[in-house]
Every structure is written in structure tokens, then in C-alpha cells.
Structure 1
């Protein structure tokens, strides 16, 4: 199986939910939430795409970066490349249900590990989906990070305890899920968190604690203040609020403010290895990818997930060679031209 065949199968198996477009820009699926699209007009989804497209690579070929080292370390885990599988739930709700939630979760968690990285698992209006993710991480000997919706703190801490029992490498809350339609449809209350509430959560566990859904310098600094170990710069794929900026637009200022104080992950329209280099050059320590992983699972199950990540590796290596990057630490803003700064 190759990537072309994998996408063809994924398109057939997700018919009516994801068209697996040649350019995954959020236009065809705008407003399809539940589903695979962006909220409302789909503007926030489209903005992620356009903002990342506006970051160009600086071609450089007079150097000695002939065999780049793509490895990095996140939360004590050595990764073959600076990419982590993003938390996704709702196989039956958003993707058409060709795979059960448990099947999807197993394929993603185990396929990611076989490819040299690890996965985050998600949470949903159906509480069983969170358990399905934990079960998959259990099969992976604890190598994974469950991300919990911004429920009441008592419910979040209850889910953190379940994760601790599994022996996970970290936990987190996607605080940008505060207004998710899918949660409301299932009668699961979610909402914003105060600084005091976040401090209660970070102090409730010794595990690294991740805040996913940071889109401003102000909230990145608050994440440091409350004791989070990492942030994910993300607008939730444009699926929670229309008319936001793209992750690639806000990341440089966030990195300037908190780089070195907290691990910075970025999430937004990561579709290939070149996108990884772009986000790291903008200030991220690693990225999250969701949609290509979904295509991998739906098109080829665990082996499909592995194939997608291996393809990311090949693309990233080529991009590093042609921009003169010996290793991940060599990737900086000198390797890109950020047209977003000129708009």
C-alpha cells in the first residue's frame, strides 16, 4: 500500500464525512460539525491552512547537513521525529463509523509507537471513548497521553486518577473544547477554566500536565503561571469558534514570550513533513497531527497510521536537507520566510 491507495480507501470508507481532498483547506467541509469540517463558515479551519501556506522555506544547499538527525525528546520520550499524534475521538460521530472507537484508538496508539512516536487520546460526550483511549494506552504499556475535556474539575481529576492507574506519560485538558457542540449534544457540561481551577488541576498530579488550545501570549503566560508542563498552540482545528486566527500566526509571539519556560506544541493543518519544519521554525518544540492519521487508520488501520508517519519522516528529512538543518535544534526562523508578518 502507498499513500495514494491509502487515501483512496479512506475516502471510500469516510464517504459523506471526509472527502480526503487533494488540498485539505476546509472549503468542502465548511460547517460540518459534527463531521470533519470547521465551525460555522469554516473560516478558522481555512485560516489554519492559509497561515501555514504563507510560511515559505528558504532553499539552502551549500552546507554539510547531508544526513539530518530528526529525533527529539518530549516528556522523557525519545521520538524519531518531532510529531505526536493528536487526540481525536468520535469515529462514529465524525468519521462515519467504519471503525469502532476502540479499533480506531488501538490503530492510532499502536501504529504511532511502531513508527517511533506516541499518541494522545481524546475525550468525548460519550464517556466510554475516554476509556477506549486509556485501554489502548494500556496495551502500549502506558506510552501515551490522554487529553480530557474541560468538564467540572472533580470529573477531570477523576479521569486523571484513571490515567495514573494506567501509568501514562502525561495528561492534559483541551481547554478550547469549552464550547464543543458534540459535548452539548450529549449533555456533558464543559466550560472555561479560571486560573485557580487550573492550579487545582496541575497540583492534583505529578504527571506532566498539558493545556491544549492556547492562542494568545496572555494565556501562554498564564499556563506557565498555573504550573503546566506544556501548551498546545491550537484553535481546535477551527472546530469550536469561527473567525479565529490560525495557529501559525500566533505561534511566533507565544514562543518569544514563553520559549524555554514551557514545552510548546503546535497543532493546525499539519499535513506533511514540510509543515513540521515550518512550525518548529516558528517556535514550536514539536507538532501534533490529526487528519492524516485519521486517513491512515481508515485507509490502512495500524499499518496505515505507520505508513503516514513514515511518510512524514521522509518529507521532513528532505526538507531539512534542502534548508541546511543538521538536527531539530538547527531549525529556526532563518530557514523560513514568514509572509504572515507582511500582511
Structure 2
């Protein structure tokens, strides 16, 4: 199995939901929510990809970074590289249903572990999908992170307790899911949270708490204030708010404000190990991958996911060699130029 074969199989299995375009940039699928596209005009999805493409690397070859160390400390776990699979659900209504939800999430969780990293599992309007994710993590001794939709606090706390019961590495809420069309269509209430509500969630658990969906310095600082241990700079893949800023563009100012106070993760438009390097250079500690993982799962189940991640890991390794970065700590803004 190779990447070309994975993409070919995925294109057939996801027909009508994802075209598996040569460049996954949100143009062909604009407005396809539910589905794989971006909200309304698809502008935010497109911005994520376009702005990341404006970041250029500085080639350096006179150095001693001959065998870079990619290891990433994620709370109490050591990952082989700083890429984590993003929390995505909805095989039936977003991806076409050629894989059952259980087949999809098992492929994601096990394929991630096979490559030396972990997966986040998601929440959905279909309550069984969170349970499928928890069951997949339970089989691997909790090596992953459940991310819960911004429901009423009591419902979130109940799901946090379920995450604790499987000894997950951490737990979180994707607050950027507050306006998801798919949740509204299924009659599942979600919405924004106050600082007091978030403090209640953080204090309800001893697990590290992750707040996903931070796009401003102000809210990054609030995440630190409430006691969150990590944020994900994310606009939900461009699926909730049209004409929003890209994650790449807001990341540097967020990093400048809270780097060292809280772990900074990011997603949005990342399609390669080179893109991962760009996000690290812009100030992230680690990077989440979404749509490419879906292609891997539909194109080759666990093996497909692992192949996608291994390829990104190898691309990141090669990029670090050609920019003179011996480890993750060596990656910073001196390695890039930005055209926006």
C-alpha cells in the first residue's frame, strides 16, 4: 500500500462527500457542511491553507543537525513526533459512511499509536460516537484524549468522568464547536461558555484540561486564567464561521502572549510535515492533523492512517535537516519568512 493507492481508494469510498482533491484547499467543497467543506463560502477553510502557504522556509546546510530529535513531551507521555490526530467524528453524515464509526475511530486510534503518536477522539450529536471513541481508547489503555462538544456543563462533566474511567492522558472541550450546523440539525444544544463555566469544568477533573478553539490573544490568556493546561489554536477547520482569520496568521501573537504558560497546539490547513514545521516555527508546541487522517482511514484503515503519519514524520525530519534544527526547541521564527 502506498499514498497514491490510499487516495484512490478513499476517493471511491467517499464519493459525494469528498473529492480527495490533489490539493486539499477547500475550493471544490466550499459550503458542504455536513460534509468535508468549509462553512458558507468556505473562506475560512481556504484562508487556513492559503496563509500557511505564505510561510516560506530558510534553507540552511552548514550545521551539525544531521539526525534531528523529533520527540515531543505531551503531559506525561512521550510521543515520537509533535503530530497528534485531531478529534473528528461523523463517518455517516460527514464522510459518506463507507466505514462505520467504530471502524473509523479504531483505524485512527490504532494507526496513530502504530506511528508513535496518539489520537484525540471526538463528540457528536450522535451520542454513541463518543462512546465508540472511548471504547477504542480503553482498548489501548487510555492512550489518547477525548474532546467533548460545548454542551451544558453537567453533560460535559459526565463525559469527563467517562474519560477519567479509561485513564485517558487528558480531556478537553472544543469550544469552537459552539456553532456547529451538524449539532443543531440533530437537536443537540451547544454554545459558548463563560469564564465561570470553564473554571467549573477545569476544577471537575484532575486530568490536564485542553481548550480547543482559541483564536485571539484575549481568549488564550483566559485559558491560562481558568487553569487549562493546553489550548488548540483552531477555527474548527473553517466549518463554523465564514471569513474568519486563519490559524497560521493568529498563532504568532498568541504564542508571544502565552508561550511557556500553557501548551500551544494548532490545526488548520496542515497537509504535510513541511506544514507542521511551519506551524512550529510560528509558535506552536505541537500540531493536530484532521482531513489527511480521514483520507488515510478511508483509504487503508489503520495501515492507511499510519502511512499518512509516517510520511509526515519523515517530511518533518527532512525539513529539520535542511533548516539546521537539531530538535523541536531549535525550531523558531528564524527558520521562516512570512509574506502576509
| Both structures adopt the same fold (TM-score exceeding 0.5) | yes
- Aligned: 1:75 with 2:37: no
Alignment correspondent of 1:176: 176
Is residue 2:270 matched to residue 1:270? yes
Mapped partners of 1:292, 1:180: distance in 2: 21
Partner of 1:333: 333
Count of residues in Structure 1 that have an aligned counterpart in Structure 2: 340
Partner of 1:100: 100
Deviations 1:79-130 (A, max 9, x none): 1110000000000010000100011001100110110000000000001100
Taking the TM superposition and a 5 Å limit, the aligned residue runs for 1:291-330 are 291-330=291-330
Q: Distance in 1 between matches of 2:318 and 2:111?
A: 23
After TM superposition, the score normalised by the length of structure 2 is 0.99
Q: Where do residues 227-242 of structure 1 align in structure 2 (5 Å cutoff)?
A: 227-242=227-242
The alignment partner of 1:84 has SS state of strand
Per-residue CA distance 1:250-285 (angstroms, 9 max, x = gap): 000000000000000000111110011000000000
TM-score, L = length of structure 1: 0.98
Q: Would you identify which runs of 4 or more consecutive aligned residues in structure 1 move more than 2 Å?
A: none
Residue 54 of structure 1 deviates from its aligned partner by 0.6
Give the aligned partner of residue 6 of structure 1.
6
Q: 1:251 matched to which residue of 2?
A: 251
Helix, strand or coil for the counterpart of 2:78? strand
Q: State the Cα RMSD in Å.
A: 0.6
Structure-1 residue corresponding to 2:119 = 119
Cα distance, 1:338 vs. partner? Answer: 1.4
- Find the aligned partners of 2:176 and 2:216 in 1 and give their Cα distance: 12
C-alpha distance in 1, partners of 2:269/2:138? 29
For residues 127-180 of structure 1, the C-alpha deviation after alignment (integer angstroms, 9 at most, x for no partner) is 110000000000111101000000000000000011111111110000010010
Cα distance in 2 for partners of 1:163, 1:243 equals 34
Give the corresponding residue for 1:55: 55
Q: Spell out, residue by residue over 1:18-57, the C-alpha distance to the aligned partner (whole angstroms, 9 max, x if none).
A: 1111111100000000000000000000000011001111
* Structure 2, unaligned runs of 5 or more: none
Written as runs of structure 1 = structure 2, the 5 A alignment for 1:139-178 is 139-178=139-178
